[in-house]
Amino acid sequence: MWLKKLFKSEKILMINIALVCLIIGFVFGVIAFTGSGKTSGDNIVFAEDLKKSQQGIETLESIQYSFNQVAEKVLPVVVEIDVVNIVSQDVPEWGFPFDFFYGPNKEKENGDKDKEPKKQEFRKQGLGSGVIVRKSGGMVYVLTNNHVVGDADEIKVKLNDSREFMAKLIGKDERKDLALVSFETAENIPIATLGDSDKLRVGDWALAVGNPMGLESTVTAGIVSALGRRGGPGENISDFIQTDAAINPGNSGGALVNIRGHVIGINTWIASTTGTYAGYGFAIPINNAKKSIDDFIAYGKVEYGWLGVQISDPRDEILKQMGIEGKKGSMVSQVFKGSPAEKYGLLPGDYVTRVNDMDIKDTDHLMRVVGEITGSQLTRFDIIRERKNKTVSIKLSVRPEEKNIAAQNKNLWPGMIVYPITKEIKDELKLKDSNGLIILQVLDGTPAGIAGFKEGDIIQKMNNVNIGTVSDFYKNLNDKSKKELMFNLLREDTEFKIGLIR
């Protein structure tokens, strides 16, 4: 009753309403707070978040620890290689002090004109890196780049622990830019673990170890950016590993290693407009070097398999005319007479798609695969000849020295490269008739070169058979029932004939 009377009082009506509202608001506030389970605010950290943060730190520490372990394992097997070339230079004879400013006087100059100038020796120094790859008794072998040792008169190997040894060159190879040096010691020497570069994948961790810019025992980290890269200085036949681990001058010959500390490559060159690191470094895959190490020790040089052909990657027009478009491989464009290729039946125009159990990607790949095959075993070559699949088994020989290969051009058959006459060629040369094939290249000293074929000649017929495609050319070229081949040619609107004898 008292509550009812209280609300009926006009004087205190507004006060009573306010009190009721406060009580109701308080109750709902308590309910809302207890139901939410948490407070608003950005500075609240929960146990679950702390746990995740700790796990992230531990993961990073684990990666860091892996790098620590790799560095500890690899640094002792990567060495600094110091080379010295002793060069001689003529030095002028100056009389003091006036000859320095005015040159030697004429009487002295004329009197000594037949006298040999004095020479002075200078020591030209170079720096690179190397990897200790083998130890046999007291002999230690270090793999490096050919361009690091060059024609050095002195070679010194400095280990990570500052021990130094005078070394000698065992062998070097320009085709792969590899060299092997050795030094003797009875002391304990660590040896590198060589990995399997064929198992590499783009994105794998990679660490480069060497002596860039003379900074000893430097480790840089990155990933394998790409595989199978081509190019580089000189005529290197390797397919390179590309990495973004920093490589600089002085790193050459050093190790590229994986996260286990296994050597997967030999650092060789960089792509740069300044001569210093610009994000791209390249290493020779270690699997390309393993046979070379054995050959250097056994023969003092690298022995390559010799097939006896010139090979090429045909352009699309040729692939279409030969019916092999879309197929990977390499085309035999020339064959050396007396070579294993000729002896066992490989012909110009054959398209090699497979060697033993290896699918051939392109010409560079075929070159490397053949180069790795030595010995007396028969090697199976799967080919496409006149649009048909065939197999030829060949026993390779050892590749001759480059100078000896160049001297064999007279045996290189046929010695020319032909190409279809496309609309572009017809328009450029202003040809009235587009029948036949154009000779793109004639190799000096070959049968075609000696016979008088020239670049730009148009082949219209062979032994009175019209030649319309590249397939026609090779079919008639390989027809051994005819000892002599007679070519009908067009040269600058003049028709004439040239014969080739097998």
Cα–Cα distance, 203 to 241 (Å, whole number): 12
- The single-letter DSSP state of residue 273 is S
Helix (H) or strand (E) holding 101: helix 98-102
Query: Is 444 considered catalytic here?
Result: no
367 and 309 fall within a common domain: yes
Of 374, 368, 310, nearest in space to 339 by CA? 310
Per the structure, the complete domain to which residue 421 belongs is given by: 414-501
Helix (H) or strand (E) holding 133: strand 119-136
Residue with tokens 């990666």: 63
81 and 173 fall within a common domain: yes
158 and 85 fall within a common domain: yes
Strand partners, 124: 85
| Buried b or exposed e, range 346-369, using 16+ CB within 10 angstroms | bbbbbbbbbbeeeebbebbbbbbb
Contact 448, 414 (CB under 8 A): yes
Please indicate, yes or no, if residue 190 is contained in any of the structural domains.
no
Query: Is 252 considered catalytic here?
Result: yes
Helix (H) or strand (E) holding 69: helix 47-74
82, 129, 147, 182: the catalytic one is: 147
Q: Is the peptide bond before 447 cis (omega within 30 degrees of 0)?
A: no
Please indicate, yes or no, if residue 244 is contained in any of the structural domains.
yes
Helix (H) or strand (E) holding 447: helix 447-451
Please indicate, yes or no, if residue 347 is contained in any of the structural domains.
yes
Q: What are phi and psi of 49, to 5 degrees?
A: -65, -40
Please indicate, yes or no, if residue 110 is contained in any of the structural domains.
no
Query: Is 316 considered catalytic here?
Result: no
Cα–Cα distance, 230 to 448 (Å, whole number): 31
> Mind spelling out the 3-state secondary structure of 349-410?
CCEEEEECCEECCCHHHHHHHHHCCCCCCEEEEEEEECCEEEEEEEECEECCCHHHHHCCHH
294 and 372 fall within a common domain: no
Structure-block tokens of residue 485: 């081949």
82, 129, 173, 177: the catalytic one is: 177
Contact 132, 79 (CB under 8 A): yes
Please indicate, yes or no, if residue 48 is contained in any of the structural domains.
no
182, 225, 252, 339: the catalytic one is: 252
- Model pLDDT, residue 180: 98
Contact 478, 349 (CB under 8 A): yes
Transcribe 1-40 into DSSP letters.
Answer: -HHHHHHH-STTHHHHHHHHHHHHHHHHHHHHHHHH-S--
Please indicate, yes or no, if residue 236 is contained in any of the structural domains.
yes
Residue with tokens 């890269």: 229
427 and 470 fall within a common domain: yes
Cα–Cα distance, 146 to 234 (Å, whole number): 11
83 and 169 fall within a common domain: yes
Distances, alpha carbon 454 to alpha carbons 78, 196, 426, in Å: 53, 48, 17
229 and 157 fall within a common domain: no
| Grouped pLDDT means (10 residues each) for the chain, 502 residues | 41 44 46 45 65 80 90 96 84 55 54 64 86 96 97 95 96 96 96 97 97 93 95 85 95 96 96 86 96 96 96 94 95 97 97 97 95 90 97 96 87 96 86 86 96 96 95 96 94 92 88
Give SS3 for 429.
helix
Number of domains making up the chain: 4
Question: Rounded to an integer, what is the distance from CA 378 to the centroid of its chain?
Answer: 29
Domain endpoint, select from 140, 157, 184: 184
Contact 473, 437 (CB under 8 A): yes
- The alpha-carbon radius of gyration of the chain (Å, integer) is 38
Please indicate, yes or no, if residue 36 is contained in any of the structural domains.
no
389 and 325 fall within a common domain: yes
245 and 295 fall within a common domain: yes
Of 146, 301, 148, 164, nearest in space to 236 by CA? 146
Q: Residue 143's domain is classified under what CATH number?
A: 2.40.10.10
Domain endpoint, select from 278, 299, 320: 299
Domain endpoint, select from 408, 425, 455: 408
- Model pLDDT, residue 403: 85
Strand partners, 389: 384
Structure-block tokens of residue 426: 């017809």
Cα–Cα distance, 382 to 389 (Å, whole number): 7
Cα–Cα distance, 269 to 282 (Å, whole number): 5
158 and 80 fall within a common domain: yes
Please indicate, yes or no, if residue 465 is contained in any of the structural domains.
yes
Contacts (Cβ under 8 Å, ≥6 apart) of 76: 159, 160, 161, 190
Burial of 322 (0-12, 13-18, 19+ CB in 10 A): buried
Q: Residue 347's domain is classified under what CATH number?
A: 2.30.42.10
404 and 479 fall within a common domain: no
Contact 347, 478 (CB under 8 A): yes
329 and 377 fall within a common domain: yes
